[in-house]
Chains A and B, each alone.
Chain A
Amino acid sequence: MENGAEHQIEVHLDKLLADRGMTLTQLSEEVGVTIVNLSILKNGRAKAIRFSTLTALCEALDCQPGDLMSWRDGERD
């Protein structure tokens, strides 16, 4: 994959939020990331995620990074 090309990482933030009965607003307040940025992450429009953001999300959602995101093989779709 070339640098700057579309990525194939899926973020499962909506599923984790639903499982824990949390809203995006609550998560935003807990991790200190704006709703706008969380929406970008949730909708797969983020290009990168900081380790600090990932740590805060994992703490708030009590999950592993692997629960939060997965790789989708675009060629098999």
Chain B
Amino acid sequence: MGLQLGAIELPGTRRTITQPLGGTVWLFLRLTLLGLVLPPLLGLLNGGRPDLYGFGSGNVCATVTINGLAESGSQPVAQLRSGMSSAPGNVWLCANHPTLAQRFLVTLTQLPMALLWLTVLILLWRLVSQVRRTGPFDATVTRRLRFLAWFVLAATLAANALQSYAAAAFTATGYPRPLPGLVGLDQIPVPIGQDTINGVLGTSWTPLLLVVCGLLSLARIVRVGGQLHDDLVGTV
């Protein structure tokens, strides 16, 4: 007889079909949590200055674009052979005695992507748990896959926008001119709006769209599989 109704109900099968995703997510979740806990602990042990995501007592640094800070956009970065040229791009900008606003901005240059990564891991873990509970051909699995796809798309763009804005705003605080807090940043020669748009446009679109389309297609496949499964369940 061809298809066996109980094929996916064999003991341990639900656990097996979630691999290797289940094991990988499990590993990355623990590594991420370790990455959140270890740096402050090591900081405490080494110099008593725990630093993480801009918080702490030391200086704060962020990778920013040189736009707005460069005196001349055409100055080369290094002496090169004749026929080769270079231009300043990203720089590692630090505030040695950061204000609260600068700390907050540096936090915003790193935290959104870290939170996105953690949330995606949690969503994947919930998906794996759902498959283990109900099997793969459940309507909830389809819903979770679809939600994950749209979440990855929206959250990546939002995180990129926020991080780019924060990096540009942090760069603006480094400009040698008194700053009235965060108000009036648009008056400083750092193109914050343009940098934010560039940050979103600079998203790695190919892998992002492939992942989103892959998840949406997978959701459709699981939905069709669910219909076939329902038919099989009703077959005597």
Give chain A's interface residues, CB within 8 Å of chain B: 4, 33, 37-38, 40-41, 45-50, 52-53
Contacts and interface: CB of A to CB of B under 8 A. Distances in A.
A52 B235 CA distance: 12
Given A46-B236, A47-B234, 14 more contacts: A33-B236, A37-B236, A38-B236, A40-B234, A40-B236, A41-B236, A45-B234, A46-B234, A46-B235, A47-B230, A47-B231, A48-B234, A49-B236, A53-B236
B235 A47 contact: yes
Contacts, number: 27
Contacts of A50: 1, 235-236
Interface string B202-234: 000000000000000000000000010011011
B220 to A, nearest CB: 16
A48 B1 contact: no
21 contacts: A4-B227, A33-B236, A37-B236, A40-B234, A40-B236, A41-B236, A45-B234, A46-B234, A46-B235, A46-B236, A47-B231, A47-B234, A47-B235, A48-B231, A48-B235, A48-B236, A49-B235, A49-B236, A50-B1, A52-B1, A53-B236
A62 to B, nearest CB: 19
Interface residues of B, number: 8
The 5 closest A-B pairs by CB, nearest first: A47-B234, A48-B235, A46-B236, A41-B236, A37-B236
A46 B232 CA distance: 10
A46 B233 CA distance: 8
Contacts of B227: 4
Nearest to A49: B236
A46 B236 CA distance: 7
Nearest to A54: B236
Contacts of A48: 231, 234-236
Nearest to A7: B234
A41 B235 CA distance: 9
A38 B236 CA distance: 7
Nearest to A50: B235
B109 to A, nearest CB: 51
